[in-house]
Amino acid sequence: MQVKSIALFMMGATGLMARSLPQGDTTFPGDFVEIDRQPASDGNGTLIFLGPGSEDNTARAATSAMDKRACSSSGSITCDSNHAARNENCDKLVTELFADPTIGVAESPRQICYQGTSGDNAYCCVSWHNVVKNLNKGDLAPIAQNMLSQCTQNGISGKTHGVYVHGKCTDVCLSNRGTHC
């Protein structure tokens, strides 16, 4: 118990604690910035693309030890109640990913968030650990759909470990925040 308390204190003191994405605020610790914003096809929400704020962060993330791990086409899903997003926002995010499957995602954003219209917990985000070259929205859609299907318990938070995304081994998360899982 004491180790957990010390770890939480150190994370808070060093700024490593994750924050939910407040309404209208798309800045994050660790140099993550908003790259692009698109209206959702349903007219009610917004897709927000986030990524490292500098080339150095992108290059550093691309050389992850994860590339050395075993990977599969489906990965291994872990569900959690931390950082749970609203089910309806995740449904809409997955719908958006499937609706435009051939639309490319630039290398620098590594999170796509659906911003719903509710004031509290308005985001559902899909994020991935490594840089994936030539990524399309459709590459993320089935992975996000699997997490949505398996992790729905009045809020969604899930992580798919060791999954191939457009030929690159990475982890993919679905939660209410754009950074980390």
Question: Minimal CA–CA distance to 110: which of 79, 156, 72, 66?
Answer: 66
Please name the residue ranges forming H helices in the chain: 2-14, 55-62, 87-99, 137-150
What predicted TM-score, i.e. pTM, was given to this entire model? Answer: 0.66
> Longest Cα pair distance anywhere in the chain, in angstroms?
49
What DSSP character marks residue 105? -
Strand partners, 59: none
Q: Can you tell me the distance from the alpha carbon of 160 to that of 138, in angstroms, rounded to the nearest whole number?
A: 16
Which tens digit of pLDDT belongs to each residue from 112-139? 999 988 777 888 999 998 889 999 999 9
To which H or E segment does residue 52 belong? strand 46-52
Which tens digit of pLDDT belongs to each residue from 150-181? 987 767 889 999 999 998 999 999 998 877 66
Q: Can you tell me the distance from the alpha carbon of 51 to that of 99, in angstroms, rounded to the nearest whole number?
A: 22
Question: Minimal CA–CA distance to 87: which of 134, 152, 11?
Answer: 152
Tokens of 110: 């590594």
| Contact predicate 109/35, CB 8 Å | yes
Least trusted range by pLDDT, from 27-31, 38-42, 104-108, 138-142: 27-31
